[in-house]
Chains A and B, each alone.
Chain A
Amino acid sequence: MTPLAQLSLDITWDATLRNVILGSMILGLTSGVLGTFAVLRRQSLIGDALAHAALPGICIMFMITGTRSSELLLLGGALSGLVGTLVLLAVTRWSFVKQETALGLVLSVFFGFGILLLTRIQHSGNSAQSGLDRFIFGQAATILPRDVAVMGIVAAVAIGVVILLFKELKVVTFDPAFAASIGMRPDLLGVVLAGLLVLAVMIGLQTVGVILMVSLLIAPAVAARQWTTSLAGMVILSGIFGMASGVAGSVISSLVDRLPTGPMIVIAASIIVIFSLLLAPQRGVLATYRVRRSRARRFRAELALTDHHGVSRT
């Protein structure tokens, strides 16, 4: 059997590959869609901040319940992630601290607090604690059917909200002051978006880990921006890029031994970004270079012409 035929057979019949492909595809789609808004709102690092802000919640939940039930720990993580986001939004709105600074602030303060709690737990003499710190390194290769189901629900909610509030999200992202003047609620919509991001990041944390989650939020959106002239186009394309990265990474890691799935997905997403930055028709590096060169050539030609005829221009 050819490798390709084997692959298509695998996708149909092999549960592992099917789960991993489905899971990372849905996650890529969700991240791509939500990431578009994060990137356009200049909050690219919000995923990172959220992931770090989750740590104290995970620790506190463990200290209270003593379980390693990932659902409960996730709930704790989601709660503290949400608190972190609200702090972030409040700091940005009510003080002169810039958004990027506030992101860094929330990220480091929450994570530092989390590490403190982790150290306490480490010394608490409870053997169930081990692996708690590794909670932040989920593995894409071990996506389970129930993960796929949860991801599907989150994706449906996120995409549903984006479709329902598309016009509102667009105007609030583009021109928040104008949006507020016509009665839209930039602050409320900011919280809605952040809430969706918290959901997606928590699911992503548990299943694929921090780094993959952060790059899935940024890379597809950045790549999509290169190719499209409308927000709807960017959202759709970013979702597609996210899905494609998920599928490509999973498939590649299923073809060769000892190729970790998560990093393969990141690499796939990065290749899409590099390709887009270089080759996109209007905004790509090559296109910009070509336009600049042809403009320079035209100017030189005109200059040569005027010099030759001794005609004074203007």
Chain B
Amino acid sequence: MRIVAAGAALSTLLPFRAVDSARADDGKKRVVASTGQVGDLARIIGGEHVDVKALMGPGVDPHLFKASEGDIIDLIESDIIMYSGLHLEGGLGEVLEQASKRIAVSQVSDGVPVDQLIQPEDDAFDGNPDPHFWFDPTLWADAAGEAARALGELDPDHATDYLANLEVYTGQLNDLDAYAAEQFGQIPERSRILVTAHDAFGYLGRRYSLDVVGLQGISTATEAGVRDVQNIADLLVANEVRSIFVETSVPQRTIEAVQVASRDRGWEVAIGASLYSDAMGDDGTNEGTYLGMMKYDIDTIVAGLSGETPT
């Protein structure tokens, strides 16, 4: 209902766009990004030439986000809309489709080679590829490439700056990748099992050889059964996994149930600190950037699984 209404609002407002948005006086391109990650990416690649607004604030679940009227206005008045794609922004689908008819649009996941995407097992993600590709920094570098290309196309005058920013950022992502590989390598091999309530970490697991076990099914909207809880408890006990993780987007009690189940089997599992999954940390904090968020997640997982006191 809301999406339809938003779509309708968009199409009625579009003709007035030229009148409403007197060209930005500072000459900066206005970028509207869907998620915090994409917003961060646009800021880094665009640098001083762009003015970025992320629609989804800290802690918002992109699967469930729906645009408000104010968001629609922001979209209409932008020069380019950048979003993650692969159906991550489920509730924005129609709005983005409408907007793409008038405004430049960049789906940063287009930069990722198709063969690098994790294809769904059975009915996960409605048969679409896993959209959480940013948990593999090398794929995020691909997305950064797409962002630089799109911005360069929109604003050819500064295209070289965007490419320069991309080069710097790719270097930082490579460093992050190396850091992650080194950190995860410290964990005993059979304990490299990441249990979370949300299957956002498939790419992280593939890149760094972690077994990722999701309790709550594949999306935040599915429900777990008794058997699912028991299976995971069995797995934890058998592999002596020390910590399980509750990311910020998921009710803590789901994970607590697993904890109780394994305690019953004589194995104490600590609840690791919250991980960031779909959403990033508050603006202005270190975890409010992609690099900071990733480093936080990596450190938290490693600390938890290697038996250090969870932070």
**Which chain A residues have a beta carbon within 8 Å of chain B's beta carbons?**
13-17, 19-20, 68, 70, 119, 122-131, 133-135, 137-145, 209, 250, 253-264
Contacts and interface: CB of A to CB of B under 8 A. Distances in A.
A19 B263 CA distance: 13
B283 to A, nearest CB: 6
B262 to A, nearest CB: 9
Interface in B247-267: 248-254, 256-257, 260-261, 263-264
A283 B169 CA distance: 74
A139 B264 contact: no
B310 interface: no
A135 B61 CA distance: 13
Contacts of A130: 59-61, 248-249, 279
B205 interface: no
Contacts of A14: 230, 261, 264
Contacts of A127: 57-59, 248, 279-282
B226 A20 contact: yes
Contacts of A134: 220, 251
Given A123-B68, A141-B224, A254 B248 contact: no
Given A16-B233, A16-B261, A142-B254, A257 B223 contact: no
Given A15-B264, A119-B68, A127-B58, A250 B226 contact: yes
B57, B229, B264, B283 pick with most chain A CB within 10 angstroms: B229
Given A131-B249, A134-B220, A257 B58 contact: no
B228 interface: yes
Contacts of B208: none
B283 A258 contact: no
A254 B225 contact: yes
Consensus secondary structure, chain A interface: helix
Given A70-B253, A127-B248, A142-B253, A260 B60 contact: no
B119 interface: no
A68 B250 CA distance: 11
Given A125-B57, A125-B282, A141-B226, A131 B251 contact: yes
B279 A141 contact: no
A209 B254 CA distance: 13
B249 A261 contact: no
Contacts of A250: 226
B302 to A, nearest CB: 22
A108 B105 CA distance: 37
B311 interface: no
17 contacts: A19-B260, A20-B226, A123-B68, A125-B57, A126-B282, A141-B223, A141-B229, A141-B257, A142-B253, A144-B257, A144-B260, A253-B226, A256-B225, A257-B225, A257-B227, A257-B231, A261-B226
Counting from the closest, the 6 A-B pairs by CB-CB distance are: A127-B59, A15-B264, A142-B257, A127-B58, A260-B223, A253-B225
Contacts of B253: 70, 138-139, 142, 144
A156 to B, nearest CB: 23
Given A127-B59, A137-B223, A258-B228, 20 more contacts: A15-B260, A15-B263, A16-B233, A16-B264, A20-B226, A70-B253, A123-B70, A125-B283, A130-B279, A131-B249, A138-B253, A139-B251, A142-B254, A144-B253, A144-B256, A144-B257, A250-B226, A257-B227, A258-B227, A260-B225
A168 B256 CA distance: 42
Contact of A254 (B60, B70, B216, B226): B226
A23 to B, nearest CB: 11
A17 B230 contact: yes
Contacts of B280: 127
A137 B251 CA distance: 10
Contacts of B217: 258
B125 interface: no
B250 A131 contact: yes
A161 B291 CA distance: 57
B230 A16 contact: yes
Nearest to A257: B227
Range of interface residues on B (Cβ < 8 Å)? 35 or more
Nearest to B36: A127
B64 interface: yes
B296 interface: no
Contacts of A20: 226
Query: Chain A CB within 10 Å — which of B60, B217, B221, B252 has the most?
Result: B60
A261 B227 CA distance: 9
Contacts of A19: 257, 260
B228 A141 contact: yes
A15 B229 CA distance: 11
Given A124-B57, A125-B58, A126-B282, A264 B225 contact: yes
A24 to B, nearest CB: 10
A274 to B, nearest CB: 23
A17 to B, nearest CB: 6
Contact of A128 (B59, B222, B228, B283): B59
A263 B252 CA distance: 21
Contacts of B250: 131
A123 B57 CA distance: 6
A16 B257 contact: yes
Contacts of A142: 224, 229, 253-254, 256-257
A265 to B, nearest CB: 11
Nearest to B261: A16
Of B225, B248, B253, B261, most A-chain CB atoms within 10 Å: B225
B229 A122 contact: no
B36 to A, nearest CB: 9
Contacts of B230: 14, 16-17, 254
Contacts of A256: 225, 227
Nearest to B56: A122
